[in-house]
């Protein structure tokens, strides 16, 4: 990988990792579902006028918009609003790798490699440690919602695999546009129009900055650069950089939000990240087996099951 592209890959992993801290900051000013809707509104609306139509069937755009934009991010924001810390959320959400591989096995009838089976078992062990850690500051039900968000991410990976969008950025912009509608309706029904209006009236610079970061950096920059890298390099070269996302997320939460990591949580993090590495990394010359999954959900060559296999 060229030095410039290496820096871009590191920049995307960093942007997606810090993303969790930014979400936590924004939730201090916005109701969770309304905040999610605003994130996708500002990511989609300005860009739609410059990028044109998505170049894939609308059923795929709608499917990923609902599974990824509305369900995955809606559940994630709601869970973090209910007490899941940013660092823990960045780690637990990576269970999407497990779900993606399992969905590929059951739905697509793909053959898992022994390393993938071992990786799933190791990562599941890490998730179990997290669930058993009673010292966590997050309610167990909220952590379960993050796991459910990971499952929704896995569904979106499967749909994206069928879609095979030729332009990752354009696809993600339209996915964002689709997500705005259900998220806004859910916010009005559950959080109420008064809460949404009060959030807009009382918005401060931190809220504006959080929205700008999520829309421009985490969504448009992140997906755009990731798609570019997947067009330039084999997926097995790009995919391992996704393993840095929970590492950056936990480090950013520690540095910027004062989150602490206990011994049991640290062991769980090693198991989850190690398990993900087993599903993503494969020996040269091996093409069989289930494609690996990556953290952010869209690809160009073979959608995010992991790219050839998308804080």
**Predicted TM-score of the model (pTM):** 0.81
Residue 299 — very low, low, confident or very high, per pLDDT cuts 50/70/90?
A: very low
The token duo for 239 is 């995919």
High-pLDDT (> 70) share of the chain, %: 84
Domain ranges of the chain: 3-280
> pLDDT tens-digit profile of 8-64?
989 998 999 999 999 999 999 999 999 999 999 999 987 887 888 888 999 999 999
Dump pLDDT digits (tens) for 182-224: 999 999 999 999 999 999 998 999 999 999 999 999 988 988 8
Residue-wise pLDDT for 224-277, tens only, equals: 888 788 778 766 667 677 778 888 888 888 888 887 777 777 787 788 778 777
223 Cβ contact list (under 8 Å, min separation 6) = 168, 169, 172, 296, 298, 310
pLDDT for 178: 94
What is the spatial distance between Cα 96 and Cα 77, in angstroms, rounded to a whole number? 16
- Average pLDDT of 167-194? 93
Angstrom CA distances, 110 to 72, 151, 295, stand at 24, 18, 20
């Amino acid at each position: 990988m060229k030095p410039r592209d290496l820096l871009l890959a590191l920049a995307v992993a960093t942007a997606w990792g810090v993303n969790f801290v930014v979400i936590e900051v924004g939730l201090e000013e916005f109701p969770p579902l309304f905040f999610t809707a605003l994130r996708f509104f500002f990511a989609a609306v300005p860009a739609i006028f410059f990028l044109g139509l998505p170049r894939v069937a609308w059923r795929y755009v709608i499917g990923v918009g609902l599974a990824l934009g509305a369900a995955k991010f809606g559940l994630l924001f709601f869970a973090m609003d209910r007490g899941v810390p940013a660092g823990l959320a960045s780690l637990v959400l990576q269970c999407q790798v497990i779900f993606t591989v399992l969905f590929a096995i059951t739905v697509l009838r793909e053959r898992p490699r022994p390393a993938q089976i071992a990786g799933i078992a190791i990562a599941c062990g890490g998730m179990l440690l997290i669930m058993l850690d009673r010292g966590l500051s997050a309610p167990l039900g909220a952590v379960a919602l993050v796991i459910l968000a990971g499952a929704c991410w896995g569904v979106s990976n499967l749909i994206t695999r069928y879609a095979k969008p030729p332009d990752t950025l354009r696809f993600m912009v339209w996915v964002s546009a689709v997500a705005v509608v259900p998220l806004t309706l859910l916010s009005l029904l559950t959080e109420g129009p008064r809460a949404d209006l009060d959030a807009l009236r009382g918005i401060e610079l931190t809220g504006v900055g959080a929205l700008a970061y999520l829309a421009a950096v985490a969504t448009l920059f992140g997906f755009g650069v990731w798609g570019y890298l997947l067009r330039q390099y084999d997926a097995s070269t790009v995919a391992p950089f996704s393993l840095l996302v929970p590492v950056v997320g936990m480090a950013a939460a520690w540095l910027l939000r004062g989150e602490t990591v206990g011994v049991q949580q640290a062991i769980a993090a090693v198991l989850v990240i190690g398990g993900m590495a087993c599903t993503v990394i494969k020996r040269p010359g091996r093409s069989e087996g289930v494609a690996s999954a990556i953290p952010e959900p869209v690809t160009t060559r073979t959608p995010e099951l992991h790219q050839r296999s998308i804080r």
